[in-house]
Chains A and B, each alone.
Chain A
Amino acid sequence: METILLKNLPDIEAYFACGGYKALKKALGLKPAEIIEELKKSNLRGRGGAGFPAGLKWSFIPPGGQGQKYLVCNADEGEPGTFKDRELMLKNPHALIEGMAIAAYAIGAAHGYIYIRGEFAAETALMNKAIADARAKGFIGRNVLGSGFDFELFTHRGAGAYICGEETALLESLEGFKGQPRLKPPFPALKGLFGSPTVINNVETLAAVPSIIENGGAWYAALGTGKSGGTKLFCVSGPVNRPGVYELPLGTPLRELLEVHCGGMKDGKKLKAVIPGGSSVPVLTAEEALAVNLDYEALAAAGSMLGSGGVIVIDDGQCMVKLLQVLARFYHHESCGQCTPCREGCGWLEKVLDRLEAGGGSAGDIDLLYSVAEGMTGRTICALADAMAMPAMSFIKKFRGEFEAHAAGKVCGN
C-alpha cells in the first residue's frame, strides 16, 4: 500500500532524503497550464470536506501575469472527528510547503498564507520553522530556485471559530474581520483574498500535489477508485482499539478500516453507528457502515458523505439523543449568526434536545426537531446550517426509537 502523505519527515533533511522538493524543481520546468492539466488527470478532489476537483478549482483562476493572486491553505481543522491536517503538518510539513509552492506557481500567486486554527500553537511553530528552512534553501522567497518565480509564504493563526473553516469565512478572518461567510458569487477564484483571485485548498489536498507532479496524474488517479483519485487520510475516533489517522486508497471498505486497521471495537463493545465524514454528515447505522466503501460516490449512494474523512465510531453504550445534543451545542456555539435560519435554528434545536435528553420533552418534540432542522436546510449563505440539520435529521430517522424513549421520560444521564 502506498503511503504518500503520512511519512514521518518533520525536518527538511529527512524530507530531502526521501526525494523532497524534486517535484518543485520539475514543476518549475513545466508551464502552469501543464501542471493544472496534470492535477485534473489525477482526479484529486478537495480534502476539506466538499470534495471539489482541485484541478478544476485551479483552472478558474484567470491565467496570465496581471494582478495579484493568492494561494491560501485551509488548516483551520475543526470539524469534530477530524484531526488529519494536524498530524500531516506535524509529520510532513514540507510536503505542504512544496505543494503550496507548486500550486502558487501553477496559478501565478506570489503570496500564500497557511491559515491554522488558533489552538494549534505547536503546529504553527513547527510550520514556521519548516517555512524558514525552506526559505533558507531557496524554495520559498524571491526567485525560487533561480526560476524567476517569487513566492512568499506565511502562517496566520485563527482565534477560535469553527466557521473559519468555510473558505470565504476564512478569507474574512484572514483580512482581520469576523469570520462570516461571504455571499457567492463572486467566488474566490475571481474575488477572494483582498479582492484578488484566490485558490483555497485544504492541507491534505496541497500536500498531495508534489507526488502527483512527480509521478503523474494518471498514477495518482489509479490509486483510488472511479472519480475519486488517490489516497485519503481517514481519522478514526471513538471506541476502537487503535484510533488515529490512516492513509488508505479511496474506495477502501469502511469495515476494513475499522476491523483491520483500527483493530476492531474496544473492550468488546458493539458497533451502533458511524458518522463517516466528520460530524456534519448524516450518520450511518452499523449495518450501513459495514457495507459501505470509503469514497465520495459510495458514501453519497449510502445517503451520507465522505466529508473530511473524520470517521466517528459510536458503540451501543452511547445515547443518540445525548450525542445529538452534544452536536447541537457545538453548532449553536459556532453559528456565526449572520443568517436567520442558522442563528435561531441551531439554538432552538439545542433547547429541544436539552429537554428531550433530560426526559422532559414530549412526543411532539421529535417532529418539531425534524421540522426545525428541515427549515434550516439549504436556506443559508454557507453550509453550517445544513451541517447541523443533516446529522439531526439522520439521527432522528435512523434512531427514532431512542428519541421516543426519551420523549416518554427516559433519562440516560451521561
Chain B
Amino acid sequence: MPNLTIDGRSVEVPAGTTLLEAAQRLGIYIPRYCYHPKLSVSGSCRMCLVEVEKAPKLVTACSTEAAEGMRVLTASEKVRQARRDVLEYLLINHPLDCPICDQAGECGLQDYYMDYSLRKSRFEAEDKILRQKRRAAGPYLMLDNERCILCTRCVRFCGEVTKTAELEVMERGDRSFIDLKEGRALDNGYSLNIADLCPVGAFTSRDFRFKARAWFLKRTPTICLGCATGCEIEAHHYEGTIYRLVPHPNAETNTWLCDHGRMTYKAVRAGDRLGKALIRKGLIDLEPALRETATRLEEAKGAAAVLGSPWLSVEDNAALARLAKDSVKTANYCFDFSAEQGIKDGILVNKDPAPNTAGTRTVKALYGGLSLEEFTGLLAGGKIKILITEAKAYGLVKAAAEAAGIRLIIFARNRGEAPAAAYAVLPYASYFETEGTFVNYQGLRRMTAAAVEPPQGIKPLWAVVNKLASYSGAELHLDSAPRALKDMDF
C-alpha cells in the first residue's frame, strides 16, 4: 500500500493504483482523452501529464503507478503549460464547427479549453488538414473524421469489449484517421457506447443527432427494462420528451448499455402509443372501457382468469393479484414465471428477455396461484371465458387462449403490442412515466423513476386495476404504488 502525496495531500492506495486513480480518490480531477477506466491504457493523448518530483520529465497519470513517497503535482505551471500545449496541438486540425456539432456542451475539447487554455490558436486556419466529413458508420452512428482527436477509445472498445475489431487507425502521423472496412456497418449490438465514449463530436448518435442541445437535457437515473440484466441508466429528457438513454455505470451490473436497450425509450412517444383504450379495436376513453370490462367480468362470473407478467413491475403484478383474489374473487390466476437467466453474449444481453422474472416470484410467494403449466391447461380446458393479462405475457399462453376462444382483456402501452383479437386493450403508463420495482437476474431490486409525464389520462397499471376493481364493486384501495406492495416481503 504505497503512500504518496498529490498536490500536498497524502493518500494511501493499493499497489498498482495509477496516479490518475489515486488523484481521483482525493477528488482531484486530471483531464484525459484516451484514458477510460474500462479500457486498456493507451497513454497517447498526453492530456493527463503530471509532474512527479525528481522525475526528469512529466509523466502520464493514466499509466504511471503510484509508488511509496512519490510527490505529485497536478496543477503546477509546468503541468498547466503542457495541458495548454496539448490542447493547442489537438485543435490545430480540428474544424471548430461547434455551432453545428451535436457534441457541443459535452465535448472534451470545449470543456478543457475553458478549464485549461483560453488561448488563441497560433495556427493558420487555412493550413488545416481536411478529413472526411460526416458519414453513417452503421445504423446508429455518424462518423466525422475531421473532429476526431485519435484517442482510440472507439478502437479499443471494439477490440476489447465487443471483440468485433471493426475499427482501426489507418495511415500514420497526422494523416491518420479512424476507419472500418468499406461497405461494412458498425453494428455490433453495442455501437452507441462509442458515441458516449468519444470525447469529441467524431462519433455521434444518429438517433439523437440534432434533436436537442445537451445543455437543455434533464437527467433522470432509472433502469433499463430491455432484458433481465436491468442495467442502471439515465433517461435524458427535455420538456416531457425523452431523447436518449445512456448507461449509468455501476459496479454491480453495467458500464455500458446495449443498442437494443437504448432504443426502448422509443415506444414512449411512438405513433401507436395508446392515449385511450380500445374496445373491439375502437378507441374509447378509459373510464367507459373499464365499465365495459367490468360488465364482461361480471358476466363471466367464475370463468375469469388473471395472468401476471414478467414485463410488469412488482407493484403492477401485485395489483393484478389483488384484482384476481379480492375483486374477481377467483383462484384462476398465475404469477409463476421462470426463464433461464444469465448474460448470453458475455457483455450485457440476458438470456431472459423479460425484466422482472425474478420480481414475479415475490408476488407468487405472497399470493400463490397456479403454475404456468396448470394455468395454460386451465385455459385450454375451455372453462375460462375471459382472460386479463399484459400484452407480452399473453404471448406465453396465446396458443391455448386462441384455441379456446377466450375473450381477452389486454394491458398494453402501444397498439402494436396488443393482439388483434383483444376484446379490450387497456393503456397504462410506461416505466419511464411511473415508478416500478424490478428485480434483475442478480436478484438486485431496483426502481424505475418517472422521468416524464404519461400522456394525458394515462395512469399507472396499478391505478387502472384499482379503478377496474371499483367498477366491479370491490374497492382495492390502491391509491399509490407503495400501497400495492403493502403486504409484500422483500
Contact = CB atoms under 8 A, between A and B. Distances in A.
A333 interface: yes
Contacts of B163: none
B58 A379 contact: yes
A344 B90 contact: yes
Contacts of B90: 340, 344
A335 B49 contact: no
Contacts of B58: 378-379
A351 interface: yes
Contacts of B60: 183
Interface stretch (B2-10, B40-48, B198-206): B40-48
Given A336-B172, A337-B174, A379-B49, A344 B57 contact: no
Contacts of B88: 375
A333 B44 contact: no
Contacts, number: 83
Given A351-B127, A379-B46, A335 B172 contact: yes
A68 to B, nearest CB: 23
Interface in A145-187: 161, 178, 183
Given A183-B43, A379-B57, A340 B89 contact: yes
Contact of A340 (B46, B56, B124, B175): B46
B127 A379 contact: no
Contacts of B332: none
A344 B49 contact: no
B346 interface: no
Nearest to B175: A337
Given A344-B92, A348-B92, A379-B86, A337 B49 contact: no
Interface residues of B, number: 35
Among B44, B56, B90, find the residue whose CB has the most chain A CB atoms closer than 10 A: B44
Interface in B38-84: 41-47, 49, 56-58, 60, 63, 82
Contacts of B127: 351
Given A379-B57, A379-B58, A341 B86 contact: yes
Interface string A43-81: 000000000000000000000000000000000000000
Contact of B89 (A336, A337, A345): A345
A87 interface: no
B123 interface: yes
B306 interface: no
Contacts of B122: 368, 371
B44 A335 contact: no
Q: Which of B41, B86, B90, B129 has the most CB of A within 10 A?
A: B86
B89 A333 contact: no
B176 interface: yes
A232 B323 CA distance: 94
Contacts of B176: 337, 343
A346 B92 CA distance: 12
Contacts of A380: 46
A343 B57 contact: no
A381 B173 contact: no
Nearest to A345: B89
Contact of A337 (B43, B92, B123, B173): B173
Nearest to A161: B172
A338 B173 CA distance: 7
B214 to A, nearest CB: 25
B401 to A, nearest CB: 59
B124 to A, nearest CB: 7
Interface string A342-373: 01111110010000000000000000100100
Nearest to A354: B127
A332 interface: yes
Interface size of A as a range: 20 to 34
B82 A379 contact: yes
A339 interface: yes
B277 to A, nearest CB: 59
Interface in B113-152: 122-124, 127, 129, 149-150
A332 B173 contact: yes
B46 A348 contact: no
B396 to A, nearest CB: 51
B173 A343 contact: yes
B57 A339 contact: no
Interface in A313-346: 332-341, 343-346
Contact of B174 (A161, A346, A379): A346
Interface in A236-258: none
A37 to B, nearest CB: 29
Contacts of A381: 43-44
Contacts of A333: 173
Nearest to A333: B173
Contacts of B89: 340-341, 343-345, 348, 375
B46 A341 contact: yes
Interface string B88-107: 11101100000000000000
B85 interface: yes
Given A340-B86, A379-B85, A348 B123 contact: yes
Interface in A125-144: none
A334 B46 contact: no
Given A347-B173, A381-B44, 14 more contacts: A161-B172, A332-B173, A337-B172, A337-B173, A341-B86, A345-B89, A346-B173, A347-B93, A347-B174, A348-B89, A348-B123, A375-B88, A378-B56, A379-B57
Interface of B: 41-47, 49, 56-58, 60, 63, 82, 85-86, 88-90, 92-93, 122-124, 127, 129, 149-150, 169, 171-176
10 contacts: A333-B173, A334-B173, A335-B174, A337-B176, A339-B44, A339-B46, A343-B89, A347-B129, A347-B174, A348-B92
Which 10 pairs from chain A and chain B are nearest by CB? A344-B89, A375-B85, A337-B176, A378-B57, A335-B173, A338-B44, A347-B174, A183-B43, A337-B173, A337-B172
Interface of A: 161, 178, 183, 332-341, 343-348, 351, 368, 371, 375, 378-381
